[in-house]
Chain A
Amino acid sequence: MTLAGAMAPGPGPLRRPWLLLWAAALAILVALWLAAAWQPWLTVYPEAWILPLRHWISDAMRWLVKDASFGLFTFKELTRALAWLLDLPLQACLILLSRGFELPLGAGVTVPPLSWLGVLGAMTFAAWRAGGSRLALLVGLCFGYLVVFGQWDSAMVTLSSILVAVPIGVVCGGLLGIQGHRSPAFERAITPVLDLMQTVPVFAYLVPVLFLFGFGPVSAMIATIIYAMPPMVRITMLALRGVDRQVVEFGRMTGCSPRQMLWKVLLPSARHSLMVGVNQVIMLSLNMVIIASMIGAGGLGHDVLTSLRRLAIGDGLEAGIAITVLAISLDRLSQAAANRAPTPVHLRQQQSFVERHALLLGLAGILVGSYLLAFVVPGLRSYPAALTIDTGPLFDDLVEWINVHLFTYLDAVKSALLIHVLIPFKRFLVEAPWPGVALVLGVAGLRIGGPRLALLVAGLAVFIAVTGNWEKAMISVYLCGISVVLAMAIGLPIGILAARSERFHRVAQNVVDTLQTLPSFVYLIPVVMLFQVGDFSAMIAITAYALAPAVRYTDHGIRRVPGEIVEASRMAGCKPGQILRKVQIPLAMPEIMLGVNQTIMMALSMLVITALVGTRDLGQEVYIALTRADIGHGLVAGLCVAFLAIIADRLIGAWAARRKQELGLD
C-alpha cells in the first residue's frame, strides 16, 4: 500500500489516460474496502480457499529425504557424502587455528594449534604487504582486540568456518557466473533463483539443510554459502560483461581459444570487479555467524547468544564487536589486495626467488617461528587469562542506569508513537482488502514498467493471499514500512552531510559498517530492556540495521551528480540550499531510490531476527516453522517474505531506471 501510494503521484507529466486508470483503481480499492464490511473474505482470506502448498512441499521434502534415490545410492547419501567432504577442510582449519591435534599414539600427546602471536603477526604482515603501514596498524589492532578481550578461541572457530565457506562461495559463485556469461539462457534461468537465495530468510531453509546434511557445523556452513554466494554470481556476470571491448578484440586478434580468452584475458581484466564479489561473500558470511551458531557452528556467534541469554549485555557486546572487528579487517584486507597493482610479468622475471615469494616466505617464517617459540613461552600458546580485559560489567551497569533513570522519558516517547502512528497504521494495513491491493500494485506496475511487470507484482501479491499469509504479510509491510520511513528520515540528512564533507563521510562510513556487521542480537536485548517486548523494539532494531544503505546511497548519489551541472547552477545564481534542493537531490533521486530499495531489502531480512523479540509477522511464521521442523510451512512463509522483497525491488528498480533515462544520467 505505502509503496503504491508513493508511486502514485510519481513525478513527471501525468497524462490523462493514466489519471483515469489510477482513479478507477483507487475507486475500486475504496469500494472493496467499504464492501469488506459485509464481505469479510475481502480482508481476511478464508481458510477454506488456502492452497495447501506447504503440505505439498513438506511431502516432497519427506520423499527427498527418505525415498529419493539414484539407483546406486539415495539422495540423502549423496548429501551426507558432500557434508563429509566439506567437513575435511573445516576440521583441518580447526586443528590448525583452534584446537590442535591429538596424535594417535595415546597418552595425550597433542600437537598444539598455531600461536595467537603467530596468527596476529601473519595477518599484520599480510596487511602490510597489501596495503602499507596504515592497514597493518588497523589489522594488528583488530586482531589485538581479539587477544586482549579474551575472544581469541571463539574467534578462531568462527574464522575457520569463514576460511572454508568463503573460498567455496567464491569458486562456486564464480563458476556459475562464468556459465551465466557464456550462455544467456543460463543467466535468465539463474537470475530468479539468485533473487530467492538472497531474499528467502535463512531460517526458512535451515530445516531442510539440517535434514539433508545432518546436525552440526557443516550444515551451518552450507546455509552460510547459500546465503553468501549470490552476489558473487551476479558480480561475475557483470564484471565479465564489463570488460573493455578493445581488450576482448585484442584477445580475439591474437587468436585466443575460448578457454584462453576466459582465463587469460577476461578474468584477469575483470579482477577488480571480481574482488567486489569476494568482499561481499566475506561480509555476508560474517552476517550469518549468529544464525549459524544456532545450529551448531559454535564460535563467536555462540558466545553472543549465551551471553545474552544470561543477560550479560557487556559480554555479548564484546563478542559481537569481535565479529565486527573480524569483518572489518578481512574486508579491508581483501580490498587492499584487490587494489594492489601486480608486478608486471617482465619485472617479475628479474626478481630473485625471495623477492617473488616474499609474502609467502614472510608468513611461513612468522607462523613457524612463533609456533616454535610457544613451546618455550607458554603464554604465546594461549594468551594468559589474567591479562585479558573485561569491560562487560561496565555495559551492564550502563544499561541498568539508563533503564532506571531515563525509562520514564523513553516510555513516554514510545507510548506516543505507538498510539498515534504505529497502531493506526497497522490497523489500516491489516484491514486493506487484498484484491484491491493486488489491483493497485498491478496498476503501478503497468504504469512504471509495462504489462509484464504488472502481471508479476499482482501475481506475487495474489500468491501471498492464496497461501494464507496475507495478514502476516501486511504486518510485515507495516513493520518494515515504518522502519524504512524512519531509516530514510535519519539516513538522508546524514548521507547529504557525508556527501559534502570528506571527514564526516569517513566517520559515517565507519559507523555504518559497524551497524551492519555488529550482530543485531547484541542491541536487540538492551532495546527490549528499555522498550519492552513488542513492535516498537522490533522497529528500532530494523531501523538500526536498515540505516546503512540509506546513508550510503544518498552519499553516493549526490557525489555522482555531474560537477558541471552544479557549477552551472551556481553560475545561474543558486544559493547553496537551492543547489541542494533543486539540483542535487532531484538528480540524485534515482540513486537515492535504489538506496530506499536496499533499505527495504535490509528491513525485510531483519524480520526473522525481530521474530526473536515476539513480533507476529511472516518472520515469526518462519521462526515457528523452524522450531517445529515444518519444512513446507517455513518455505512458504519464507517465499512470501521474498515476494514482498521482489515486488518492492522490481517496482522501485523499474522506476529508477526510467527516471535515470529521463534525466539523461545513463
Chain B
Amino acid sequence: MANPLGTHRGTALARLGTAGRLAGAACLLSGLLATSPAWAASYPESDDAIKMTIHDWTGQYLTTHIMGSVLEEMGYNVEYVQADYLAQFAGLETGDLDVAMEIWETTGKQAMDESLKTGDTVDLGETGMQAIEEWWYPAYVKEQCPGLPDWKALNDCAEVFASPETQPKGRYLGGPVTWGGMDEERVEALGLDYEVVHAGTDAALFAEIQSAVQRKQPVLAWVYTPHWAPIKFEGEWVEFPRYTEECYEDPSWGTNPDKAYDCGKPRGWIKAVGWAGGEEKWPAAYQAIRNFTMTNQDMGEMIGKVDLDGMPADVVVQQWMDENQDTWKSWIPKQ
C-alpha cells in the first residue's frame, strides 16, 4: 500500500481550503433550512488540525479516513496519527490525539470506561457497525467434526484440532494477549479440552489461519468481523451459550454453576471516542462524528477491496465518498 502518512497529509492539505468550503456551502443549500450565511462562518471553529488515530487494521483505517474526509469537506484540518489501540488513551486524555474512531466493546470497553471516568475523554457514540468476535473454523472442518457449530461438539473434536505441543488437547489459537477475550477462563468454565495459544499480533493470527486453509487442515482460531478473513474463507462461528452481562459477572449463571465466563464472547458496538477538550474546540466536527454510521456489510465490502483485491485504501475511501454523497452529507450538522 503505497500510502505513507506523509504524502497523504500533503494531499489532504492541498485538497482543503476552497474545495472544502464550497462543499460545505453546497451542503448548506441542500439542507432543509437554508439558514443565515452566518452559519457558514461558524465552522470550522478552529484551524488546528483534528488528530485522528490510525491503528493496525484496515477497517479502522477506512472508517477513520472516511470520517476524516467528511471533516475535511466541512473545512477542518485533519491529521492522521499512527497510535496503538490501547496506548492511545493516554494521548486522548492529554489532547495529543483527538479522535479515535473504533473502540470495540469486545476488546476496548475496559480501557475506554477507565478513560471516560477521568473526564478527559468523551464518548462520541456508536458507529453502527457490530463487532463479532468468536471462535471460528473453516467450513471443511465440519466433515471431520459434524457436531459443529454447537460448542458441545468441541470436546469430541479435540483430537482434530490438536498439535504436537497440545496433544491430546485441542489447540485454539487466540488473539494477542492484549486483546483480552477471557478465553482461558472460558475453556475452564465450559470444561473444554483445549489449550489456548496466543498469537502475538493480528498478522501472525491470520497468517496461521491462511496457511491452514491453504492446506485444508483443521484450525480453530479467534476471528473477528468486520475483517477480510471471514469474507475470503468460508467458515462458521462456534455457537456458545449467548453472552449476557450476568454470565461474565455472576458465576451461578449458565451451565457451570461455579464459574463465570461460561458463554460466548460479547458481540457489541464499535464506538468513537474523543478528547474532551474537542467538544468546545470543534463542536460541529464532534457532532458530525456522532452522526457517523456504517453497516457491517458496507465496511466488509470495502475491507475486501483493500485486503483481497489489493486496491489502495485511499482509492476505496474516495470511491465510497463519491458514491455515498447523500449518506455522508446527512452527517454534517445543520442548524
Contacts and interface: CB of A to CB of B under 8 A. Distances in A.
Interface in A402-427: 403-404, 407, 414-415, 418-419, 423
A534 B1 contact: no
Nearest to B17: A106
Which of B17, B51, B197, B208 has the largest number of chain A CB atoms within 10 A? Answer: B208
Contact of B84 (A107, A534, A626): A626
B117 interface: no
B86 A309 contact: no
B214 A98 contact: no
Contact of B14 (A110, A150, A627): A110
B202 interface: yes
Contacts of A307: 1
A613 B201 contact: yes
Given A100-B10, A629-B87, A311 B4 contact: no
B14 A614 contact: no
A94 B5 CA distance: 11
Interface stretch (B170-178, B257-265, B285-293): B170-178
Contact of B90 (A211, A418, A615): A211
A404 B211 CA distance: 8
Interface string B276-319: 00000000000000000000000000000011001000000000
B246 interface: no
A418 B165 contact: yes
B305 to A, nearest CB: 12
B215 A404 contact: yes
A419 B56 CA distance: 35
Given A614-B199, A628-B87, A529 B208 contact: yes
Interface stretch (A295-303, A345-353, A574-582, A647-655): A295-303
A294 B84 contact: yes
Contact of A533 (B9, B13, B173, B210): B173
B223 interface: no
Contacts of B165: 418, 423, 534
B238 interface: no
Interface string A608-622: 001111111000100
A156 to B, nearest CB: 9
A624 B228 CA distance: 26
A447 to B, nearest CB: 38
Nearest to B201: A612
Contacts of B18: 106-107
Interface string B152-186: 00000000000111000000010011100000000
B2 A150 contact: yes
Given A311-B210, A533-B200, A214 B96 contact: yes
Contacts of A528: 204, 207-208, 211
Contacts of A419: 164
A157 B5 CA distance: 9
A210 interface: yes
A100 B199 CA distance: 41
Contacts of A627: 84-87, 176, 178
Interface string B199-223: 1111111111011001100000000
A573 interface: no
Given A110-B14, A154-B2, A293 B82 contact: yes
Contacts of B310: 310, 312
Contact of A614 (B10, B13, B197): B197
Contacts of B83: 215, 295-296
Interface residues of B, number: 58
A310 B1 CA distance: 10
A154 B164 contact: no
Contact of A613 (B5, B91, B200, B210): B200
Interface string A84-116: 000000000010001110100011101000000
A250 B164 CA distance: 71
B89 interface: yes
Contacts of A308: 203, 207
Which of B84, B200, B206 has the largest number of chain A CB atoms within 10 A? Answer: B200
B204 A533 contact: yes
A533 B65 CA distance: 32
A544 interface: no
Contacts of B201: 612-613
A404 B217 CA distance: 10
A629 B86 contact: yes
A648 B228 CA distance: 45
A415 B166 CA distance: 11
A323 interface: no
Contact of A615 (B5, B17, B200): B200
B208 A533 contact: yes
Nearest to B228: A310
Contact of B203 (A211, A214, A311, A404): A311
A166 interface: no
Which of A157, A530, A628 has the largest number of chain B CB atoms within 10 A? Answer: A628
Interface in A129-168: 150, 153-154, 157
B86 A628 contact: yes
A532 B86 CA distance: 26
A298 B82 contact: yes
A294 B54 CA distance: 10
Contacts of A403: 211, 214-215
Nearest to B177: A624
B55 to A, nearest CB: 10
Contacts of B199: 533, 613-614
A555 to B, nearest CB: 34
A628 B214 CA distance: 35
B97 to A, nearest CB: 6
A305 interface: yes
A207 B306 CA distance: 31
A525 interface: yes
Nearest to A315: B1
23 contacts: A98-B7, A99-B10, A100-B10, A102-B10, A106-B17, A150-B2, A154-B4, A215-B51, A215-B81, A293-B82, A294-B82, A298-B4, A403-B215, A407-B215, A528-B211, A529-B211, A533-B204, A533-B205, A612-B204, A616-B198, A623-B178, A628-B111, A629-B90
Interface of A: 94, 98-100, 102, 106-108, 110, 150, 153-154, 157, 207, 210-211, 214-216, 293-299, 302-303, 305-312, 315, 400, 403-404, 407, 414-415, 418-419, 423, 524-526, 528-530, 532-534, 610-616, 620, 623-624, 626-629
Interface of B: 1-2, 4-7, 9-10, 13-14, 17-18, 51, 53, 56-58, 81-91, 96-97, 111, 163-165, 173, 176-178, 197-208, 210-211, 214-215, 228, 306-307, 310
Given A404-B215, A533-B208, 5 more contacts: A215-B82, A299-B4, A400-B214, A614-B199, A623-B200
Nearest first, the 9 A-B pairs at minimum CB distance are A296-B82, A529-B211, A99-B10, A612-B200, A614-B200, A415-B164, A627-B178, A298-B5, A298-B4
